Amino acid sequence: MINKGLNACYELCRREIRQMVKNIHGKIGSPINLSKQIFLTTLSVSISMLWDGSLNGEEAKLGLEIKDRLEEFVGLMGEPNLSNIFPMLRPFDLQ
């Protein structure tokens, strides 16, 4: 059952990865942020699997904004709560 689902998504993954490689190839000689490229490709594959769509143009910018917000969220979740370290600061609700 699982192999059937994976095989069904194979072409979607292949198409999106080919598109990413094509985009990177078109930027030869200029700096490339692979992290963003891989995130957008992963997001595009997920969108393809869920809604049979793809990221194009403005949607790619929205995808990068999602990436930035996720990084910000993860960073905030990783920060220590000062009121847990110094209980006398609890009334100030510093977090």
pLDDT, tens digit, 9 for 90 and up, residues 72-81? 888 877 777 7
Q: Could you tell me if residue 90 is inside a domain?
A: no
Residue 24 has pLDDT above 80, yes or no: yes
Give the total number of structural domains in the chain. 1
Q: Which tokens hold the place of 61? A: 């910018």
Q: Could you tell me if residue 53 is inside a domain?
A: yes
Mean pLDDT along residues 6-35: 84
Q: Please work out, in degrees rounded to the nearest 5, the angle formed at the alpha carbon of residue 49 by the alpha carbons of 36 and 43.
A: 10
Q: How confident is the model at residue 55 (pLDDT cuts 50, 70, 90)?
A: low
Q: Could you tell me if residue 59 is inside a domain?
A: yes
Residue 46 has pLDDT above 60, yes or no: yes
Q: Could you tell me if residue 89 is inside a domain?
A: no
Q: Could you tell me if residue 93 is inside a domain?
A: no
* Cβ–Cβ under 8 Å, residues 47 and 53: yes
Q: For residue 95, what are the CA distances in angstroms to 11, 65, 70, 71?
A: 46, 24, 18, 18
Q: Could you tell me if residue 94 is inside a domain?
A: no
For 32, the domain range is: 2-79
pTM of the model: 0.58
Mean pLDDT along residues 36-55: 77
